[in-house]
Amino acid sequence: MKYQILLYWSEEDSAFIAEVPELPGCLADGETYGEALNNAQVVMQEYLDTARELDRPLPKPNGSQFLR
């Protein structure tokens, strides 16, 4: 599944933040843009694996035009 990832700089945290809006609470950070993106992919996979293990429905991607 393809989910939107929002990447932005946080002055407060002095880090790049990667947020996955369709997966509540799914956030990651990193010292660089690439590190935050890689960390987000790991956290997303863990989120989805846990949802499957607990037999919870998987959130559907929002179908944003940005997802390709």
Greater pLDDT, 67 or 58? 58
Question: Residues 34-40: what's their mean pLDDT?
Answer: 97
Confidence (pLDDT) at 68: 36
Is 80 exceeded by the pLDDT of residue 63? no
Q: Assess if residue 27 is contained within a domain.
A: yes
Please, what sign has the CA dihedral across residues 22, 19, 8, 2? negative
Confidence (pLDDT) at 67: 37
**Structural domain total, the chain:** 1
Note down the domain range covering 24. 6-53
Confidence band for 60, pLDDT divided at 50, 70 and 90: confident
Got the DSSP string for 3-49?
Answer: ---EEEEETTTTEEEEE-TTSTT-EEEESSHHHHHHHHHHHHHHHHH
Is 70 exceeded by the pLDDT of residue 34? yes
Q: Assess if residue 48 is contained within a domain.
A: yes
